Amino acid sequence: MQACRSISGFGEVQFVNFDRWGARVFQTDQIGQGWNGKMQNEGNLMPAGVYIYHLTYQRRGEKESKTTNTVTLLR
């Protein structure tokens, strides 16, 4: 199960996910790669809780946009 849906339809993306203490738990610039709830998608399972993400994206032919929001990981 993916905690965050994959990203598609963009020219460029930068997705960074942090735990509540500000530690980076996942980062990608690969369109279509979502977070699987593990540290950097390879390590230990992250505990259930609220995670903060920063998403920077650019649709083809448009200017860069940024958003920050949260995702809740349920176990």
The 10s digit of each residue's pLDDT in 1-51 is 455 555 566 678 899 999 999 999 999 998 888 899 999 999 899 999 999
SS3 of 19, please?
coil
For the residues 59-67, what does the mean pLDDT come to? Answer: 88
**How many other C-beta atoms can be found within 10 angstroms of the C-beta atom of residue 31?**
15
Q: What is the pLDDT of residue 1?
A: 42
| Assigned token pair, 53 | 């993400």
For residues 3 and 13, is the Cβ–Cβ distance under 8 A?
no
For residues 19 and 32, is the Cβ–Cβ distance under 8 A?
no
Chosen CATH of 12-73 out of 2.60.40.1220, 3.40.50.2000, 3.40.50.800, 1.20.1440.20 = 2.60.40.1220
Torsions phi, psi of 67, nearest 5?
-145, 150
The residue ranking higher by pLDDT, 52 or 60, is 52
